[in-house]
Structure 1
């Protein structure tokens, strides 16, 4: 498959409409001070509810400076955009928590299946001990031994996947907590900003131009939100794919080294085979994770079917495949091919991100910056004008 076949998949970078609404709502809170649902009243210093139309703040140089400083602080907070990653990572945390519950049930079932193969499993179901205790070398495995070996291997894989998921869950929980704190700070600044403008203008727009500029900025922010969401998802997927490529490279090298280890060194041979398997499992998890981030994008390489083949036809039988030259070579071909295709997929990711998404993001950032400055200048003008009318003094121009 060529890259061109996935054009439809990333024409909108794989973003989802419901997430763009999240960004529109929060970015709009920066400017939609005319739409407060507080019926024109708010708490003020413990004095009780006040009629905003009846009492407005005094407009002087300090008011203007406070407004400009608040705008700058909000712009700095928005530069790292904690709101959107918070929603995405919170969704991911909920999903991985559910997956852990399902994996725990699956592991229990595999443990029961493995223990059903005989008394030898009561002391230990570790494949390494089975190898050592039974002295398996070049002799072919019996049918029961092979079934037990495959079952024990599946159990070990399931246990490894569960442990990896638990670590990912813990890391995500920390990231979500940090993002929640940053988002709370930004939302507090949004609220202060809204209250200041509402008190300045009594909950009304200062001018028709301000109303128009605000609507135009909201539209640009919504569009930027979709591009930023796409950029976040693609970069998270890219990071996971980079890990997968490194893990596949280690697996291929370890598998190549295996025939050079004497068959009498059973523990070393098992250790190398286990390390190969562990890297293959981790790589497949990362590739699947990248696909989850971009669930409506068709990957030109390493599609779900290919990863499933790697797991079912190769990874689960790694200890059986190490017993004969023919099976070893077949497995090596499978691992090596997947590694090459994963590298090709990573290059495709780089192309999409650098030539498409970043170009669009740079363009929309410039438009948002220009429109934000336009709106700020109009509001500064209105504040200056209001100060001149109410106090008969001229406030210095500050853009």
Structure 2
């Protein structure tokens, strides 16, 4: 008996991430081939933030007879019931289609980005709030110093007259009110962002649970395909269809994310428009409320309610800008929102006099008109740009994926016929691809910024109407300007590259990656062939040397004769 030796041979796998180790044990010269396959998880669908296995776009013929033997003798194909496995494949696809209608992968990615942007904004607001708190303390101290001076006899040392002192005191009071209002507004925004981040985190957890169920089903489908086809593609057509499906799916993912972002922006902009409209109306009411002492608290409550509606509108418009980025909004841009924020910071001061009240109203009304234009512009972009591309891409993806499933079912039928001699009857309509469920898509929650309620303001509307009725002699209501911006002259829509990114470049990069991976696989295959041929050459050389020395090499007559020897 000669000494046993072991040689590891690499077999071309179905997936690049899979390694099939073929161990050949040689005992002069019988060759026994066994296959051991590690447990490898395959992701057949693109998943956000999960390393994705790229599929080789070409099937290679086995380079040597030993490779064919290794693949053909995989133990999985000996013990499985092909017919049952095919039925399981069909059932898994039906469940997958139901989950895919929820668009889970895209929604998880969208929510993760939204939470990251919210957290970044919260960090910035925390720093701003700290600065505003210091500013408020300083302004309060300035007011306190003047009050202390008024109670002393040192006014004449700093002011020429009581009138000059009163003017300075009023100025310091206004600066303190403005600083305090700005601080409170910043604090309210920060709290709202923190609550939004917590809500988004909860949504991500729920979506991830469903997404993980989907990924588990993908893994089960890949295991079924491995069992049926032994780790290689059933046909070249299956390989090509899978690659094409991956490409269209990536394009579809981009467009779906754009659609969801723009639909959310549309809802937020419409909410902001309604909030600005109410703020303008309530701001009219403020001027009609008597300024006598008994109505002072009512005026403060009305101004506070106006401010809360304006803050909510600003948040919704800011979220809209973030959602449609990198496209720049032609209306209510950051500069306009900054102007509105400044007006909000002065709102309690603006409510004291008619002139300032009228000026502030013009700012609010102009922003309301621009917000209405923005809502109409977003609606037009969705209808004329995104919807068409999304519908076409969904149809292409559904057709391509259905073709892939049909090809796999055809191959499985052939496998059943080859294995059992029976014809498998499969109803392919059970796995027909209906695409994204539009009802589920439209029913997806869109969280708009809500208005904070005014404390201790029960029956506020009734109180304001009563106060206005008692103040008819104070003057007429403020008239709304007759000229309104026309919706017929909207800004031009963004380009496809601005909406979806450069899809042509994306597809080119994808194809380039596929070609690079294919080249790498060819090089690996060539090295494996060369190594195996070299091992065969060495074995032949050893056999020739042994024969030259007069040592007979017994033929391979199986384990029984080997044992007898």
TM-score range relative to shorter protein:
0.7 to 0.9
Shift of 1:120: 9.7
Cross-structure match for 2:438 = none
8 Å contact from structure 1 (residues 380, 398) kept in 2 = no
Distance (whole Å) between structure 2 residues aligned to residue 148 and residue 176 of structure 1: 42
Correspondence for 1:69 among 91, 97, 116: 91
Shift of 1:115: 2.0
How do residues 74-223 of structure 1 correspond to structure 2 at under 5 angstroms?
A: 74-118=96-140, 142-223=170-251
For the structure 1 residues 191 and 262, does the alpha-carbon distance in structure 2 shift closer, same or farther, using more than 3 Å as the test? Answer: same
TM-score, with length taken from structure 2: 0.58
Query: Are 1:256 and 2:287 matched, yes or no?
Result: no
SS at match of 2:76: coil
8 Å contact from structure 1 (residues 217, 368) kept in 2 = yes
Shift of 1:102: 2.8
Deviation track 1:144-184 (CA, whole Å, cap 9, x = no partner) reads 11111111111111111111112211211111111111111
Correspondence for 1:371 among 400, 418, 424: 400
SS at match of 1:35: coil
How do residues 36-51 of structure 1 correspond to structure 2 at under 5 angstroms?
A: 37-40=17-20, 41-43=37-39
Distance (whole Å) between structure 1 residues aligned to residue 206 and residue 71 of structure 2: 36
Q: Which moved more, 1:251-260 or 1:51-60?
A: 51-60
8 Å contact from structure 1 (residues 36, 203) kept in 2 = no
Cross-structure match for 2:263 = 235
For the structure 1 residues 52 and 242, does the alpha-carbon distance in structure 2 shift closer, same or farther, using more than 3 Å as the test? Answer: farther
Distance (whole Å) between structure 1 residues aligned to residue 123 and residue 71 of structure 2: 52
Shift of 1:392: 2.0
Cross-structure match for 2:331 = 301
For the structure 1 residues 121 and 96, does the alpha-carbon distance in structure 2 shift closer, same or farther, using more than 3 Å as the test? Answer: farther
Deviation track 1:93-128 (CA, whole Å, cap 9, x = no partner) reads 123223223322322322222122346999xxxxxx
For the structure 1 residues 196 and 36, does the alpha-carbon distance in structure 2 shift closer, same or farther, using more than 3 Å as the test? Answer: farther
Shift of 1:59: 4.6
Q: Identify unmatched segments of 5+ residues in structure 2.
A: 1-12, 21-36, 41-69, 145-165, 429-565
Distance (whole Å) between structure 1 residues aligned to residue 38 and residue 99 of structure 2: 25
Shift of 1:56: 2.8
Query: Are 1:330 and 2:347 matched, yes or no?
Result: no
Distance (whole Å) between structure 2 residues aligned to residue 244 and residue 204 of structure 1: 55
Deviation track 1:23-51 (CA, whole Å, cap 9, x = no partner) reads xxxxxxxxxx932523142449xxxxxx8
For the structure 1 residues 397 and 181, does the alpha-carbon distance in structure 2 shift closer, same or farther, using more than 3 Å as the test? Answer: closer
Distance (whole Å) between structure 2 residues aligned to residue 112 and residue 203 of structure 1: 67
TM-score, with length taken from structure 1: 0.81
Cross-structure match for 1:7 = none
Distance (whole Å) between structure 2 residues aligned to residue 227 and residue 34 of structure 1: 30
Distance (whole Å) between structure 1 residues aligned to residue 427 and residue 82 of structure 2: 13
Correspondence for 2:312 among 279, 282, 295: 282
Distance (whole Å) between structure 1 residues aligned to residue 229 and residue 196 of structure 2: 48
Distance (whole Å) between structure 1 residues aligned to residue 123 and residue 329 of structure 2: 28
Distance (whole Å) between structure 2 residues aligned to residue 346 and residue 323 of structure 1: 33
For the structure 1 residues 194 and 52, does the alpha-carbon distance in structure 2 shift closer, same or farther, using more than 3 Å as the test? Answer: farther
Larger radius of gyration: 2
For the structure 1 residues 121 and 79, does the alpha-carbon distance in structure 2 shift closer, same or farther, using more than 3 Å as the test? Answer: farther
Q: Which moved more, 1:389-398 or 1:146-155?
A: 389-398
Cross-structure match for 1:246 = 274
Deviation track 1:185-210 (CA, whole Å, cap 9, x = no partner) reads 11111111111112211111101111
Distance (whole Å) between structure 2 residues aligned to residue 172 and residue 397 of structure 1: 43
8 Å contact from structure 1 (residues 86, 180) kept in 2 = yes
Higher helix content, 1 or 2 = 1
Task: Kindly indicate whether structure 1 or structure 2 has the higher relative contact order, using CA contacts under 8 Å at least 6 residues apart.
Answer: 1
How many correspondences in the alignment?
Answer: 344
8 Å contact from structure 1 (residues 100, 162) kept in 2 = yes
Cross-structure match for 1:270 = 300
How do residues 358-397 of structure 1 correspond to structure 2 at under 5 angstroms?
A: 358-397=387-426
8 Å contact from structure 1 (residues 59, 383) kept in 2 = no
For the structure 1 residues 66 and 36, does the alpha-carbon distance in structure 2 shift closer, same or farther, using more than 3 Å as the test? Answer: farther
For the structure 1 residues 60 and 118, does the alpha-carbon distance in structure 2 shift closer, same or farther, using more than 3 Å as the test? Answer: closer
Cross-structure match for 2:76 = 56
Distance (whole Å) between structure 1 residues aligned to residue 243 and residue 113 of structure 2: 30
Shift of 1:273: 0.9
Deviation track 1:360-394 (CA, whole Å, cap 9, x = no partner) reads 21222112221122111111110011111122222
8 Å contact from structure 2 (residues 139, 179) kept in 1 = no
Q: Identify unmatched segments of 5+ residues in structure 1.
A: 1-32, 45-50, 123-138
